[in-house]
Homo-oligomer: A and B are copies of this chain.
């Protein structure tokens, strides 16, 4: 089959997201991908390798969907994402927490994700206000992270709260 590895990775993403990384065994991952143990190992090497592949794949999908240029677009994209994938907290933070930051393959992807996320916040602020503003960018990042973290228990209201806060802060700074 052509997309065997892709199927392994995407089904693993779903299972990891729903049941945690350490809490999920290889059996369950094989079953979710409808693939034998041997095949899974041929494609991803190890559980750690699978985790890294999952995060890598999620990062690509994330930044495709968050190719935004304004605050409104940013939080609208987050609402769409949550509506489609559910709100269970940031998978990158969860991976880092579960591994204790002791798994280089995982930490590397998480670090890159955070670098790109900060870069995205900077870009949005620059395009929104017409000039770079490091403080505002960091505030936007904190609001985004907060919305992601609070959405599991506050619901979509967390996202609209974050959006209005970001809008107000930006207007105020102008």
Contact = CB atoms under 8 A, between A and B. Distances in A.
Contacts of A148: 149
Contacts of A141: 146, 150, 154, 161
A1 interface: no
A125 interface: no
Interface string A137-174: 01101111111111011100110011011001100100
A143 to B, nearest CB: 6
B152 A149 contact: no
Interface residues of A, number: 45
A99 interface: yes
8 contacts: A114-B153, A138-B154, A138-B157, A138-B161, A142-B143, A142-B147, A144-B146, A145-B150
